[in-house]
Amino acid sequence: MSMFAGVEMGGTKVMVAFGTGPEDLSAPVRIPTTTPEETLTNVERLIAGAATGARLLGIGVATFGPARLERTAPDWGTLLPTPKPGWGGAVIGPRLADAFGVPVAFETDVNGAAMGEGRWGAARGLGDHVYVTIGTGVGVGLIVNGAPLHGALHPEAGHIKVRRDPARDPFEGCCPFHGDCLEGLVSGPAIAARVGQPGETLSADDPVWDLIADYLAQAMATLTFVTAPERIVIGGGVGSHPAVLLATQRRLAKELNGYMPHLTSDEAIQAYLVRPALGDRSGVLGAIALAQTLFNSSQTTKAPDAPVSRGTPEEHPHDRRQLDG
């Protein structure tokens, strides 16, 4: 039996699962995120354990950032300076490639989730879509022409500005960099700071949700105008709140005001801004999707009869440009 390992690295926990898709997936195992050494050793143990009973074809990592995604960069597969103590410079991709000798895909958590929802979930079959998560922070992953958008590093679309009316919302935002950017206004901590209790404890008709929907609709309009996606999948504790999603859809129509010709009806907007279909598994499944894509491209760049790469030193996946396509 062949399988891929999916590793979703979060700031507080790492989820690891094995398989080839949603119908063939082991129960995700949760590892607390402590030091890089301890955490990655635990990840390696899990993978090694699973690889004794099945053939491991590749590993996908979907990680918190900032992270170096560009495969040709000397520091590919590492984390960049981050507020999370000890994790700046942590070497993840090369370490797993060395340990297991298989291709390793290395992406942001949100690009991973976007790939997962695109392969098997709410954006299935699309090549241009966006995944947005609103929870402790705001993250945005973008797929363009079927591949994750990296750009110079990776997007940080949680930090775009939206308009705030201080008379309606005197809360000045909690982003340490930008104050009342999107994340500073709609993240879980922003909601808790504004109303004095966690969002989870508020009723569905609390007026704060209307405010959140207003900001989210502005942000969804900006994402729509800038990248014209075929669909936006919006998740996370705040993003999938039923009252928030409905109100955001309604307001998004007003923000666009008929300007995007494919998004002029309520039905079109409802099919455009949707909830994730893979629940809390979009991350690990996305990591597996990325590993599969990398594995497949490594196969097509070889002679048909060549053996599967085992990651010998002269051909580490991160040294081979063509795998990045």
Answer yes or no whether residue 177 interacts with its own copies by CB under 8 A: yes
Which two tokens mark 87?
A: 């994790």
Residue in 161, 250, 275, 320 binding its own copies, rule: CB under 8 A = 161
Give CA–CA dist 220/125, Å, rounded: 21
Q: Nearest approach, Cβ of 97 to its own copies (angstroms)?
A: 22
Q: Does residue number 228 form part of the binding site for its own copies (CB under 8 A)?
A: yes
Interface residue with its own copies among 42, 44, 159, 192 (CB under 8 A) is 159
Residue 149 interacting with its own copies (CB under 8 A): yes
Is the distance from CB of 143 to CB of 127 less than 8 angstroms? yes
Query: What does the block give as tokens for 145?
Result: 């022409």
Using CB under 8 A, pick the residue from 52, 145, 201, 300 that binds its own copies.
Answer: 145
The footprint of its own copies on this chain (CB under 8 A) covers a number of residues equal to: 43
Q: Name residues whose C-beta falls within 8 Å of residue 231's C-beta, 6 or more positions apart in sequence.
A: 122, 123, 126, 129, 130, 271, 272, 273, 274
| 16 vs 142 by CB, closer to its own copies | 142
Choices 34-42, 185-193, 234-242, 257-265; region in contact with its own copies by CB under 8 A? 257-265
Judge whether 10 and 109 are in contact, CB under 8 Å: yes
Q: Select the span of 43-51, 111-119, 214-222, 243-251 touching its own copies (CB under 8 A).
A: 214-222
Nearer to its own copies, 142 or 284 (CB): 142
Which residue of 29, 54, 99, 147 would you call a contact of its own copies, by CB under 8 A?
A: 147
**Choice from 2, 13, 225, 265 touching its own copies (CB under 8 A):** 225
Decide if residue 160 touches its own copies (CB under 8 A). Answer: yes
Please state the closest distance from residue 108 (CB atom) to its own copies, in A. Answer: 11
Nearer to its own copies, 158 or 276 (CB): 158
Give the DSSP letter string of 20-37: EETTEEPPPEEEE---HH
Residue 250 in the binding site for its own copies (CB under 8 A): no
Binding of its own copies by 221 (CB under 8 A): yes
Rule CB under 8 A: say whether 123 interacts with its own copies: no
Q: Identify which of residues 221 and 284 has a Cβ nearer to its own copies in the complex.
A: 221
The answer for residues whose C-beta is within 8 angstroms of residue 312's C-beta and 6 or more apart is 101
Please write down the long-range contacts of 297-302, taking CB distance under 8 Å and 24 or more positions apart.
Answer: 297/322, 297/323, 297/325, 298/103, 298/323
Residue 18 beta carbon to its own copies: minimum distance, rounded to whole angstroms: 29
DSSP state of 152: T
In 187-323, alpha helices (H): 188-195, 207-227, 236-239, 242-256, 266-272, 282-300
Signed CA dihedral, 150, 151, 154, 156: sign only: negative
Which DSSP letter does residue 154 get? Answer: -
Helix (H) or strand (E) holding 47: helix 36-51
Q: Counting beta carbons within 10 angstroms of the beta carbon of residue 60, is it exposed (0 to 12), middle (13 to 18) or buried (19 or more)? A: buried
Is residue 128 a contact residue for its own copies (CB under 8 A)? yes
Confirm or reject binding of residue 79 to its own copies (CB under 8 A). Answer: no
- Interface residues toward its own copies, by CB under 8 A: 66, 80-81, 128, 140, 142, 144-145, 147, 149-163, 177-178, 218, 221-223, 225-230, 255, 257-262
